[in-house]
Chain A
Amino acid sequence: MPKQKPASLSVRLGTLELRNPVILASGTCGYGTELEDQVDFSTLGALVAKSVTLTPRTGNPMPRVVECAAGMLNAIGLANVGVEAFCREKLPALRRLPCAVIANVAGSTAEEYLKVVARLESEAGLAGLELNVSCPNVHAGGLEFGRDPGVLGELVAAVREITRRPLWVKLTPNVTDIVPLALAAEAAGADALTVSNTLVGMRMDLEHRRPVLANVTGGLSGPAIKPVALNLVYKTAGAVKIPVIGCGGISTASDALEFLMAGESQ
């Protein structure tokens, strides 16, 4: 029997070509190096580094995480080293990873987003940028940009003006209708949409009669949110022409296939 050539799994997201569609989402893989013992990065299409902000953030008080049925809540609060240290200390190791690396940018004002993107422009070795406009765990910014199509469009357009890198926008599921936001990001020049971030939730501590998380609420992730994310991918993919990146509760190959099918089926 003739030897079969392995099927090509490569995908194209605008100008960016990835060897396969498997991407580690922002926040699940730190700055990459933390997982070097556990993950063979050459098997991945890309990884999205954890959110980086203009200045370092220590994050929220503890407790920051709590387990739920089929998932977890987190309220880390965008703990990160800040863009300067990210470029100096984290990027060198990220660049050496044998997969595409996407930086994820967060801010509490449009100016902060722009300053971070501008700083990253002077660095080589980033395959693209993802805008986090959907963090539910910080009081100012984040989610506020992700809930209003007008505000979101302005932010994406402003970032689009200062970078030619592939630009992804990570949308929030915490809205009545995701479609106007997806359309706004597309119209403003986004190359792809990541759908979606975590769902806002909380848990109570029965013994102490108070919320478990110091931040009161957190973002729900894990298998629990997969059906919600699937539906949002289905809706978004039906409304926009740019690629949609499925995200939420994916832990097996069949989970990933469900997302690919949901995106194709409209």
Chain B
Amino acid sequence: MLAELLSIRRFGPYAHLVLAAPAIARRARPGQFVEVRLSGEGAPFWRRPFSICRAADGRVELLIKARGRGSALLAALGPGAKVDVLGPLGKGFTLTGKTPRLLVGGGYGIAPLLFLAQVLKAKKIPVEVFIGGRCEEDLLLRREMKLAGAKVTCSTEDGSVGFQGRVTMPLEVRLRQTPSPVRLAACGPHGLLQAVTRLAQTYQVPAEVSLETVLACGLGVCNGCVVKIKGEYQRVCKDGPVFSAQDVDWHA
């Protein structure tokens, strides 16, 4: 569908887009994504996948990082632009149960976790969020997470804000000091997801991770985005992108 870009806000390499997409907003679940077809000079052949950062009132919000041709073209659009969006796609995070959640986001990997935090809070499930980045600029959605009612802990690798080090450090402190039942949900770079998976194993808590990979079709047709899950290939775009962390074969 063609969705009108209602607003766009840029900060550093990041951009926050608000699209008018009622059909997608109505059906979207936290952890799902959309595929955007870019047009114009140098537009890539494939659509580009972006996590849904928020979906309500007929609007779909994306938080993206301009890091290649596709995302740079999207980040350069102005209000009023018509954007070719397909979605919602994929399988999102588990929303059932009342167990408190610890959400872990690295960089723009925080995007789907805002949607998740909002939905969990609406179900009266306690939410704590761990946001990490290299520097302050990478700490995204801190204010929005607080407004959603989540307890927010930040970390930066350069120590400019919050804990100095990786985001798994304050997460481990939390898991060690308060050993009550929790569920983890993480999105971000591969190394972060692996580290979260290790912590989940050490502290015996269930964890879900949202995997990011190159997608060709995004619809489950081409089998080009498979990962090994419990020893068998599954499609990130259709069977995921959210998988149970312990099922992912990280070394396949």
Nearest residue, chain A, Cβ from B86: A38
- Across the interface, A35 reaches (CB within 8 A) one of B45, B221, B226, namely B221
- Across the interface, A34 reaches (CB within 8 A) one of B45, B216, B220, namely B220
CA distance A76 to B45 in the complex (A): 18
- Across the interface, B46 reaches (CB within 8 A) one of A38, A63, A64, A72, namely A72
Q: Is the CB of A30 within 8 A of B220?
A: yes
- For B224, what are the chain A residues with a Cβ–Cβ distance below 8 Å? 64-65, 74, 76
Which secondary structure dominates chain B's binding surface? loop
CA distance A49 to B214 in the complex (A): 24
- Across the interface, B221 reaches (CB within 8 A) one of A34, A66, A67, A72, namely A34
- For A74, what are the chain B residues with a Cβ–Cβ distance below 8 Å? 216, 222, 224
- For A43, what are the chain B residues with a Cβ–Cβ distance below 8 Å? none
Q: Is the CB of A65 within 8 A of B222?
A: yes
Q: Which of B76-90 contact A (CB under 8 A)?
A: 86
Q: Is A27's beta carbon under 8 Å from chain B?
A: yes
Q: Is the CB of B45 within 8 A of A71?
A: yes
Scan B212-240; emit 1 where CB is below 8 A from any A CB, else 0: 00101001111111110000110000100
Q: Is A79's beta carbon under 8 Å from chain B?
A: yes
Among B44, B214, B232, the most chain A Cβ lie within 10 Å of the Cβ of: B214
CA distance A38 to B222 in the complex (A): 15
- For B238, what are the chain A residues with a Cβ–Cβ distance below 8 Å? 34
- For B225, what are the chain A residues with a Cβ–Cβ distance below 8 Å? 65
Q: Is A70's beta carbon under 8 Å from chain B?
A: yes
CA distance A67 to B222 in the complex (A): 13
Q: Is A222's beta carbon under 8 Å from chain B?
A: yes
- For B86, what are the chain A residues with a Cβ–Cβ distance below 8 Å? 38
Nearest residue, chain A, Cβ from B232: A58
Q: Is A68's beta carbon under 8 Å from chain B?
A: yes
What is the minimal beta-carbon distance from B82 to any residue of chain A, in angstroms?
Answer: 18
CA distance A30 to B221 in the complex (A): 5
CA distance A28 to B220 in the complex (A): 10
CA distance A65 to B235 in the complex (A): 13
Q: Is A201's beta carbon under 8 Å from chain B?
A: no
- Across the interface, B216 reaches (CB within 8 A) one of A29, A35, A69, A72, namely A72
- For B233, what are the chain A residues with a Cβ–Cβ distance below 8 Å? 58-59, 79
Q: Which of A1-59 contact B (CB under 8 A)?
A: 27-30, 34-35, 38, 58-59
- Across the interface, A65 reaches (CB within 8 A) one of B44, B216, B232, namely B216
CA distance A222 to B232 in the complex (A): 29
CA distance A63 to B86 in the complex (A): 24
- For A69, what are the chain B residues with a Cβ–Cβ distance below 8 Å? 45
Q: Is A162's beta carbon under 8 Å from chain B?
A: no
Q: Is A62's beta carbon under 8 Å from chain B?
A: yes
- Across the interface, A222 reaches (CB within 8 A) one of B45, B214, B219, namely B45
22 contacts between A and B (CB under 8 A): A27-B222, A30-B222, A34-B219, A34-B221, A35-B219, A35-B221, A38-B86, A58-B232, A59-B233, A62-B227, A63-B214, A65-B214, A65-B225, A67-B44, A67-B45, A67-B46, A67-B214, A67-B216, A71-B45, A72-B46, A72-B216, A79-B223
Residues of A in contact with B (beta carbons under 8 Å apart) = 27-30, 34-35, 38, 58-59, 62-72, 74, 76, 79, 222-223
Contacts beyond the supplied A35-B219, A65-B224: 20 A-B pairs with Cβ under 8 Å? A30-B220, A30-B222, A34-B220, A34-B238, A38-B86, A58-B232, A58-B233, A62-B226, A63-B214, A64-B224, A64-B226, A66-B214, A67-B44, A67-B216, A69-B45, A72-B46, A74-B222, A76-B222, A76-B223, A222-B45
Closest 7 CB pairs of A and B: A65-B224, A30-B221, A34-B220, A65-B216, A79-B223, A34-B221, A64-B224
